[in-house]
Amino acid sequence: MHTLIFGICIATILFAGHPATAYPLYDRADITVKHEWTQVPHNWELQGEAPSGHPINLRIGLKQGKLDELITTLYEVSDPFHARYGQHLTKEETEALVAPSEETFQAVHNWLAFHGVDISSIAYSPARDWLSLQLPLARVEAMLSTKYHAYQHVERRDTTIRTLSYSLPRALHDHIDVIHPTTLFGNMHDFRATSHITSSGATFDSIAASNGATVKGSAGQDIPISCNTTVTPACLQVLYRTDGYVPKAADKGNRIGIAGYLEQFVNFADLQTFFSMFRIDAVGANVTVISVDGGLNDQSTPGVEANLDTQYTEGLTFPTPNVYYTTPGTAPTINDSVTPPQRDEPYIDWLQFVLSHDDMPQTFTTSYGGDEQTFPIDFATRACNLFAQLGARGASVMFSSGDGGVGAGTCETNDGTNRTIFQPVFPATCPFVTGVGATFHIAPERGIDFSQGGFSVYFPRPAYQAAAVPPFLKNLGSTYAGLFNPAGRGVPDVSAQGEGFQVVVGGSVESVGGTSASSPTFAGIISLLNDFRISQGKPSLGFLNPLLYSVGLPAFTDITLGNNPGCGTPGFNATEGWDAITGLGTPDFVKFQEFLGKL
């Protein structure tokens, strides 16, 4: 360990033993705030100071060298009118674009060395754009000019060690995007409307009572009338016209991935029971479970969310291989009365894990998120750019848009002004993912009241929404002026059924609703379309939105009924064209096949 020479007010500081090596002196007067909260985040309360010896696994996101080129490439390979359409990047090509510059490495290494960090102890991501090192809390506090405290969530009662602000030398702001854990308080939750759970008896009675009666779908197909309230894989297959399609590319590498968090575990026995009831030809098939950072899959505690996701992705895509990623929702901590186990945000962990592999599923679905404003903008931006890497490598990424109508939580800003504002959900607001809202009923489908939609505060409207969103805003006029950002990225992009899903949990059938059901449903259909493409020797669809908002428009059933109340308002209405409750509408698999066969 180098011996630091302090108290010398010169432009550089020398380290004993290495007199020829100069390190910049980061003058205290030149340290500026990187991110701060003006108040303790909603639903968290201060418990006291954190112990100085508490170990922190500090992760530093370095400025990525050619990020603009990566995003330009992403749009080119995702635009069906561009000559590069479908020419997705390899892992190595993607990493070359996000690798930090040598100047960034030098600046950050100098800063760490200045604070006595052993540079050889640093771990790097494959692209070397993330640094990871474990340090005692007191050292981190000195580095970030801050003080950490223990905070407890008032509802969940879990505790986390966080700070309300952190600072860096001004010279480092252009080299460091984000540092974690700092101001990001755990606020991720699943989007599952548990209030809709019913008994198994009522479930089967509703199916039996239909007596085979049907109604006509938007394409003239006969749909069992029981699907109006009781959704099964067969309902979704006929409604979205995937029935009769047999996947052909399972042996050519087509897969679908499901991201699981917060100790939600897939139960294999429940999956087989589900197959025996609702997808008999799939009996004996299973889901591959991959552990991320020690994630478990405890068979004694089946998760409604995990079972919902996997039963319906595989229920729609069998025999396509399904991969469930179990990422832990708790961070390492010391075992004492002051610092009980703390909950963490695992997006970055999961993204880095998936991106570190040469091979990945072509389709992903995630049913988790939180109010956008609860994520520090530096964290949200960095995570969003990681989703851009997934898209550039040929993956389609779906996220639930949320279950809060136009706003869950407090419907108030957290900037100290406490203004009323609609609350969009991140990561669905990230422009590089496809946000999925919810519908219910059939013939016609309607936007359901909990389907969360609106406009991002962090991310501006992307070019692919330039034609679709303005007509909605024009019809809205001055309604809700000041309650949302009309220049922001609009969500959701698309929608699918989200009510009355029959899910086997602990051996019994429960009826579950939420955009947690909609995202795996839409992702299942995209996985089948990827199968169709790959079986023809074509590349996967990759980042979907530029295609969906252009040549994909005729492949949607427009939803024009429903609204999503919240924040003391009726919310947005479903209208002709894109709207902030159902997006572009629900998919028609056959129509998608028709135009994709020509691309």
pLDDT at 71: 98
Dump pLDDT digits (tens) for 372-415: 998 899 999 999 999 999 999 999 999 999 999 998 767 989 88
Distance, in Å, from the CA atom of 515 to the CA atom of 369, rounded to the nearest integer, reads: 11
Q: Write the single-letter amino acid at 371.
A: D
pLDDT at 357: 94
Confidence bin at 137 (pLDDT 50/70/90): very high
Angle at CA of residue 441, ends 436 and 446, nearest 5°: 55
Distance, in Å, from the CA atom of 369 to the CA atom of 346, rounded to the nearest integer, reads: 11
The yes or no reply on domain 190-596 and CATH 3.40.50.200 is yes
Whether the pLDDT of residue 334 is over 70: the answer is: no
Dump pLDDT digits (tens) for 153-162: 888 787 889 9
pLDDT at 374: 87
Whether the pLDDT of residue 302 is over 90: the answer is: no
User: pTM of this prediction?
Assistant: 0.91
Q: Where in 537-599 does DSSP place strands (E)? A: 556-557, 586-587
Dump pLDDT digits (tens) for 162-178: 999 999 999 999 999 99
Q: Could you tell me which of 454, 440, 444 has the C-alpha nearest to residue 490?
A: 454
Q: Write the single-letter amino acid at 551.
A: V
Confidence bin at 197 (pLDDT 50/70/90): low
Tell me the pLDDT of the chain averaged across its residues. Answer: 88
pLDDT at 494: 98
Q: Which one has a higher pLDDT value, 293 or 22?
A: 293
Q: Alpha-carbon Rg of the chain, whole angstroms?
A: 25
Q: Could you tell me which of 147, 156, 134, 189 has the C-alpha nearest to residue 340?
A: 156
Reduced 3-state DSSP string for 36-71: ECCCCCCCEEEEEECCCCCEEEEEEEECCCCHHHHH
Going by the DSSP 8-state scheme, the letter that residue 182 receives in this structure is S
Contact between 565 and 405 (Cβ < 8 Å): yes
* Chain Cα centroid distance, residue 436: 11
Helix (H, G, I), strand (E, B) or coil at 178: strand
Strand pairing of 31-36 and 256-260?
A: unpaired
pLDDT at 212: 78
Element (H, E) at 143: helix 137-144
Whether omega before 520 lies within 30 degrees of 0, making that bond cis, reads no
Whether omega before 431 lies within 30 degrees of 0, making that bond cis, reads no
Average confidence (pLDDT) over 497-519: 95
Contact between 472 and 575 (Cβ < 8 Å): yes
Whether omega before 427 lies within 30 degrees of 0, making that bond cis, reads yes
Contact between 248 and 531 (Cβ < 8 Å): yes
Distance, in Å, from the CA atom of 582 to the CA atom of 493, rounded to the nearest integer, reads: 7
Q: What are phi and psi of 553, to 5 degrees?
A: -55, -45
Whether the pLDDT of residue 122 is over 70: the answer is: yes
Element (H, E) at 328: none
Instruction: Please name every residue paired with 491 in a beta bridge, in sequence order, or none if there are none.
Output: 454
Count of Cβ atoms closer than 10 Å to residue 290 Cβ = 17
Q: Could you give the residue numbers annotated as active site?
A: 305, 309, 516
- In percent, the amount of the chain with pLDDT more than 70 equals 88
Tokens matching residue 63: 């400025």
Q: What are phi and psi of 272, to 5 degrees?
A: -65, -40
Helix (H, G, I), strand (E, B) or coil at 222: strand
Whether the pLDDT of residue 193 is over 60: the answer is: no
Distance, in Å, from the CA atom of 421 to the CA atom of 488, rounded to the nearest integer, reads: 14
Give how far Cα 501 sits from Cα of 124, 213, 227, 272, 593, Å. Answer: 42, 19, 10, 17, 26
pLDDT at 199: 47
Average confidence (pLDDT) over 482-489: 97
Dump pLDDT digits (tens) for 23-80: 454 666 689 999 999 999 888 999 999 988 889 999 999 999 999 999 999 999 999 9
pLDDT at 203: 52
pLDDT at 492: 98
pLDDT at 392: 98
Instruction: Give Cβ neighbours of residue 431 (< 8 Å, ≥ 6 apart).
Output: 384, 459, 462, 489, 545
Confidence bin at 189 (pLDDT 50/70/90): low
pLDDT at 1: 34
Place of tokens 């449903």: 521
Whether the pLDDT of residue 437 is over 60: the answer is: yes
Distance, in Å, from the CA atom of 90 to the CA atom of 359, rounded to the nearest integer, reads: 9
Contact between 308 and 503 (Cβ < 8 Å): yes
pLDDT at 347: 77
Instruction: Please name every residue paired with 231 in a beta bridge, in sequence order, or none if there are none.
Output: 501
Annotated binding site: 558-559, 577, 579
Whether the pLDDT of residue 10 is over 50: the answer is: no
Contact between 397 and 541 (Cβ < 8 Å): no
Average confidence (pLDDT) over 554-573: 97
Q: To 10 degrees, what angle do helices 67-78 and 377-392 make? A: 50
Whether the pLDDT of residue 202 is over 60: the answer is: no
* 3-7, 105-109, 160-164: least confidently modelled range: 3-7
Distance, in Å, from the CA atom of 179 to the CA atom of 166, rounded to the nearest integer, reads: 9
Annotated binding site for Ca(2+): 558-559, 577, 579
Torsion angle of the four alpha carbons 62, 63, 69, 74, in this order, in degrees rounded to the nearest 10: 50
pLDDT at 335: 34
Q: Could you tell me which of 480, 425, 435 has the C-alpha nearest to residue 462?
A: 435
Going by the DSSP 8-state scheme, the letter that residue 17 receives in this structure is T
Start-to-end CA distance of the chain, whole Å, equals 59
Confidence bin at 552 (pLDDT 50/70/90): very high
Angle at CA of residue 497, ends 496 and 499, nearest 5°: 150
Q: To 10 degrees, what angle do helices 304-317 and 515-535 make? A: 30
In what order do the strands lie in the sheet containing 149-153? 44-49, 149-153, 159-162
Q: Which one has a higher pLDDT value, 271 or 292?
A: 271
Distance, in Å, from the CA atom of 133 to the CA atom of 108, rounded to the nearest integer, reads: 13
Instruction: Give Cβ neighbours of residue 205 (< 8 Å, ≥ 6 apart).
Output: none
pLDDT at 336: 34
Q: What are phi and psi of 218, to 5 degrees?
A: -65, -25
Place of tokens 């992307």: 462
Contact between 265 and 302 (Cβ < 8 Å): yes
Tokens matching residue 573: 């209405």
Average confidence (pLDDT) over 305-324: 96
All CATH 3.40.50.200 domain ranges of the chain, comma separated, are 190-596
- In percent, the amount of the chain with pLDDT more than 90 equals 75
Instruction: Let me know how long the chain is.
Output: 599
Average confidence (pLDDT) over 526-536: 97
